Chain A
């Protein structure tokens, strides 16, 4: 039988994990965009 405290911990844990996963996803997307921009700028397509 789980106590209320345990339930709260579990709920908070899943919330934290979700936030963390989204943060990591955000960082990965940011890096993809960053490397894309670096490539474009280094190509000097603007002349």
Chain B
């Protein structure tokens, strides 16, 4: 989506018909709209939202018609306000108009009709098409949930990365990146497959029919369990974020700050000790898997050793001497003691050598060596297990000390004179206990799911082996297999795309964030698109409490990253339409920033999207912002506000849009 123009007709203070053309030049991709406070920047930003989604965040949101136009209209006369947006999406040019009519009543009051949305586009051949569901078409191009991201209000946007309302935002990101459509197609193919399976069973023998019924019942149970699990996980996540909120609050209160910071350190140590204990367990399992059998070979090794030595002493086993070595001594005619090996001595040795079985001799020698090695390995195994055990005991001791100190701090906080601290500490303890219970429940459900899945798999395999006799059953089976095969491929595509989107968002956010913010915070995005920020104190990572300006930069970084990743995804011209080009429309993005951050943000903004529209006041624009963005300006407009308070000749406020000289 690249914006061509917006036309406003009697929309709020934009009296009459006025138009803005946006720069589409890739090297001069910024359109600047300058306007002082109250001149209509926010109304203009809301004109985009109203046109596309019928939504505004304006006060008196029902009052769409210009006051001046209403005042000038005759009594009982009808007036119209509309916003028309022209934009390109691929090779199509879209024209969206939302209009509303109002009938003038007594005292300049208005009776509004329902707003009307119209949409049409011209395709690459110049043909005009009117889609049957205009709102759905718009939502496919630009999801409504991301409205506040693409049409960004700097002063009120706060932190768009927070969890509130995040579900819708996550869904919108998934739609934008092509994940939603992949997932939905895979789900629907699964349902189609089940339906063909049901059909095939109707033609099968009673046993196959029974199997299908059992599979369907298992799938029903599994679906219920999964639904339950999702709900439980959502609830435990809410409790977890509530705990983080309480800890955050405790960190900010003077009476508990030091205690909470010590507790943070201890909690971090506790986490690390748990990880170490887990590592020790893994190492122990590995040692036992590789050499555990030696623990049970004690008697065998001992008895074999005794047996071999007895046989050796009794002469039943040849000497521990290598046959080839003795043959070489005979050949040289020299004994190992240095004397000659000739005459009778040599004959006796030759006879012994002839009587000896070299193969048997070698096997005995090898057996001796193996038994000794086993004995050695057995000792090493017990040493290793003792070492791991002792390490684990020390870790458990350490863990106990850490947990005792945490409990002590919690008790101190709960006993604090400051009632707020005591109440928060109690709340944290209660929430943690609830979280523990929830985790146990989640674990139980996961166990149930795993066992249901195992049974289901076995039944499905059993059904797969059943012959499907008859043409109709065979056809249904083929259709079922084909649905399954396509679904599996889609699942793989989905998994690659999900991972790719997450990695790219993570990289982009970190990159944009480091360019915009002078503090070195670490930005982390998880697979659910939750964004968290951390700073380091020594090697300890703690969540960041942000200033308002930092929150604004964070939101901008998030917006920039989403738009940038969406833009990158369009390079993939495979069968699925991923991503897309999107503009960023920003109202007062520099308002809450200090000079350094204004400069950094201004430098970074033009690179965030192929099209950037910035609405800004003269005071925010002049200086570092203008300096940094000057080279990227494609078009510039001024909002000339006519104020009745300043000019008695003006009876009703209105704003005129005037195109300016970009080099002026």
Partners in one complex: no
